Structure formats: structure tokens, C-alpha cells
Amino acid sequence: MAKLPNPRLPLPALDSDVVFTLAEGTSIWRVYRTAGSHPGNWSTFRRYGPVGTGRFDHHEPPAHDDPVRGILYGALDAPGAVVEAFQDGRLIDRFHDAPWLACFALELNAPTLDLRGTWSTRAGASQAIASGPRGRARAWSREIYAASASVVGLTYASAMTGTSTNVALYERAAASIPARPRLHIPLSHPGLESALNRIAQRFGYGMR
């Protein structure tokens, strides 16, 4: 199993060959909670962090409300967003903490560091950055954030679906977020039940 060591400085340059630009118009899907410990809305960059479930939270520990740093997680497809949101319990819970599904289109190009390629290995990490210990991944995210202001987030392979691409957008990407989403619907909506059930069956999740 690939190991994920702590960051080794200095990091390799974040040149154009390791930057994946999420083009203007790219659809970002996300599931977020409107209740619970850290409620938000479809366009919220979570300012409180780092939290244990946030793989790439770039906030400096200990956890606190950060006036500068914020993070927004999403995926490039709906199944990826749903499976990632409920990975810890492997149960798509349509009611607890009132989760919603949102999809929005980026209004500007968003250059991200592509963690799916060779950069992670060259930097001294591995592809385990997307699946290994979250605390180590957060340390890498903090160093990446500090190393280059030219990237507004990270692109990485979903460790849960095997096919989806996930994104972790820093607050630097705020200008790319539109005023209105393309889709915005509670997971408890009856019209989503069959689609969510198909996702649950496909990935071996439960659903309620």
C-alpha cells in the first residue's frame, strides 16, 4: 500500500504541466448540509477548520473560524458528490442534517493542481494523498496553498467511486462561483429517490 509521508520542502514547481484548469462552464456537483455542526449553502466556502472529515482543509490548526481561508468540496459528476458526502457511514441519509444536492457552472476558468498525475509522487507523496490519512493530506494542502497563489484548488481522483474526479476549491476560487446554481434540491425530495437508490445500489451503500 502506498504511503503518505509528511510534506518535503521545497515542493516541486507548480508549472503548467501539473495544472488542470476547470474551464468556465464546468459543472461542479456537491452535497452540503443545511443543519448540524457546520451548516452552509450551495456556494459556501467553509471557514471553520481544519475538521477531521476535510481531507484538504488548508486552515492552520487548531480548528477555528478563519477570516481568510475557506474550502469548498465538490465533484465533476453527481454520483461522485453523493458517494463522497456519505463515505464515512456508507449510508445515503436523505434527512439527517437536511442535506441538499447542488450543481453550478463555473463563471471563470479555475486553475487547480492536478493530484491525479505524477506531481504527487515527484513531490514525495503518492496517490495515497487522495485516500490515505486525512491529517497528512491536510498538511500537503497547506503547503501547496502556500507555495503558489496561481492555483485556486486541487483536483483529485475519488477514492470511493474509482472513476469520478473530485475538487477542493480554496477561497481563491470565489470569483468563479455564480450567483445562482443550475440545480438546487433537497435530497429528501421524492423526485431524487430513484436516482439516489441507483447510486446506493451501484456502490453498495445503504439509503434511508
pLDDT at residue 1 is higher than 60: no
Position 104 scores a pLDDT of 98
The answer to whether 5 touches 136, Cβ cutoff 8 Å, is: yes
Residue 4 lies in a domain: no
Other CB atoms within a 10 A radius of the CB of residue 160 amount to 22
Residue 6 lies in a domain: no
List the beta bridge partners of residue 30: 102
State pTM to two decimals: 0.94
Residue 5 lies in a domain: no
Residue 131 lies in a domain: yes
How far apart CA 111 and CA 151 sit, in angstroms, is 5
Residue 92 lies in a domain: yes
The answer to whether 157 touches 84, Cβ cutoff 8 Å, is: no
Domain count, the chain: 1
Position 2 scores a pLDDT of 66
pLDDT at residue 14 is higher than 90: no
Residue 149 lies in a domain: yes
Residue 9 lies in a domain: no
Which of 151, 166, 144, 175 minimizes the C-alpha distance to 76? 166
Looking at residues 164-173, what average pLDDT do you find?
97
Position 3 scores a pLDDT of 81
pLDDT at residue 66 is higher than 80: yes
Confidence of residue 21 (pLDDT cuts 50, 70, 90): very high
Confidence of residue 87 (pLDDT cuts 50, 70, 90): very high
Residue 158 lies in a domain: yes
Q: For residue 201, what are the domain limits?
A: 16-207
In this prediction, what percent of the chain has a pLDDT beyond 90?
83
Position 199 scores a pLDDT of 97
21 vs 14, residue with greater confidence: 21
